[in-house]
Amino acid sequence: MNLKLSLQIFKAASLLALSVSISEGAKPKKNAPSNAPRQTEESFQPKDKSQGYEYLLYKPSSKPSKGKWPLLVFLHGRGERGSNLNLVKKHGPAKIVESKDLPFVIASPQCPRTDLWWKPEIVTGLVDDLLQKHPVDPDRVYLTGLSQGGFGTWATAARFPDKFAAVAPICGGGKPEWAKKYGTLPIWNFHGNADKVVPVRLSRVMVDAVKKAGGTIKHTEYPGVGHDSWSKTYRNPKLYEWFLSHSQKKK
């Protein structure tokens, strides 16, 4: 990775940290009281007692049509790090399922404040744990994330491409030398071209690198949209249809 790109990733990380410090004064709104929470608070710790993640778990109320549910793992952004899982409900699938059903089991882990980035080995350890404990289809496991979670999606998929049927990073970035590691893994990348926190160039170089490596990728770039390219993306039903169109059996 060249020096210019490395500096851009460092600058993006610095701006993410700054945006978090500015926004931390506002407390997240509490959800309206409900007799039955739509998401439960769970904990994952590896058997060797190493670091794990706390996470929110959503399970559809109806039975799956094919015996097992697909699994969607959502990685939040830097502003939602910490030890309060209600923060994870601010954006993305974890926010949507508070008021709307989605046809997935959804796990939304929380990155501790002591960590700057997601750790791929813990993310995939959580996936393995969920596969053992719940009626989840191992051929239909999907990964998505925004901002810091977008970086985490690129990094986790590079380390463990065979774990997922499809991935969707949003306003993130990675290392172009990872491109060959993705193989035929379907990737749908999203970014706003007016993003001043994580420059859109970080997505463009990844998309170009994956294309040159012969990978399977498409890229949606929103004209005039800044850092929040996730709201529009996660509201789009086509994203979830796209996930469900992919399985490990089809790869």
Distance from C-alpha of 160 to C-alpha of 156, rounded to nearest angstrom: 6
Note the pLDDT tens digit of each residue in 34-87.
567 899 999 999 989 999 999 999 999 888 777 899 999 999 999 999 999 999
Label residue 30 by pLDDT band (50, 70, 90): very low
Domains of the chain in start order, with CATH, are: 7-15+39-250 (3.40.50.1820)
**pTM exceeds 0.85, yes or no:** yes
- Which pLDDT belongs to residue 31? 44
